Amino acid sequence: MFWMPNKLLVAGEKAGLGTLPKGTLADVLAVGPSALSARLMELGIIEGSRIEILHEAPITGDPIAVRVRGSVVALRRAEANQILVIPVTGKQSPSETPEE
For residue 3, the model assigns a pLDDT of 38
- Confidence (pLDDT) at 64: 93
CA distance 60 to 70: 26
Query: What is 21-91's CATH number?
Result: 2.30.30.90
Q: Count Cβ atoms within 10 A of the Cβ of residue 60 and give its class: 0-12 exposed, 13-18 middle, 19 or more buried.
A: exposed
Q: Is 56 helix (H, G, I), strand (E, B) or coil?
A: strand
- Tell me the C-alpha to C-alpha distance, in Å, between residue 33 and each of 17, 22, 36, 38, 44: 15, 25, 5, 9, 16
For 5-48, how does the pLDDT look when each residue is reduced to its tens digit (9 = 90+)? Answer: 444 455 568 889 999 999 999 999 998 877 788 888 888 898 99
